[in-house]
Amino acid sequence: MLGQPVNECRWNLPLAQNVLDSPLNNLNYEPLDLSSKVEYALLALLELANHRDRQHPLTISGITVRHGIPERYMEQILTILRRGGIIHSQRGARGGYALTREPQQISLLEVIALMDGTRKPRDHTLLTTPEREVLHKTWQQANVISQTFLQNCTLQDLCQQLEALQQKAPMYYI
């Protein structure tokens, strides 16, 4: 992918750049919060995706040491990913973890839903007013937009962005 622009998860809205350039971006408010469980799961999946061409699966310590994640916590995360069918484990001296599918087949939305579960619907038994209806409709639209983005953004997209970032980094020689 040398020389080609990095695909920002197939989402090219001028509006997104306007928001990033806006003074509102400095308010330190993130409506779509990234839980540590999801972050650690995605870091592990990135490691596994970048390790997939090697002969042996990647060990837990191969993931945790690099990112400073507690091994016990990573065990729990990898168990959820394994039960969800995203990774598989291999026992033994050359054991470890590997992806069950290609990175382009794993969406961020799938990982988030697996790690954080589904949200309970809000109680709409309260008095319905036109103002409430407008608010709920706007929030539903925002949710659809974020879910669409996360469904279209795959582990492969993250790998490509990481590769582009690493190519920009200066190389130091001793």
Query: Which pLDDT score is estimated for 3?
Result: 40
Q: Region 146-150: what's the mean pLDDT?
A: 91
- Range ranked top by mean pLDDT from 4-8, 55-59, 118-122, 160-164: 160-164
pTM: 0.79
Contacts 24+ apart (CB under 8 A), 114-122: 114/41, 114/80, 114/81, 114/84, 114/86, 115/35, 115/37, 115/38, 115/41, 115/77, 115/80, 115/81, 116/35, 116/37, 116/38
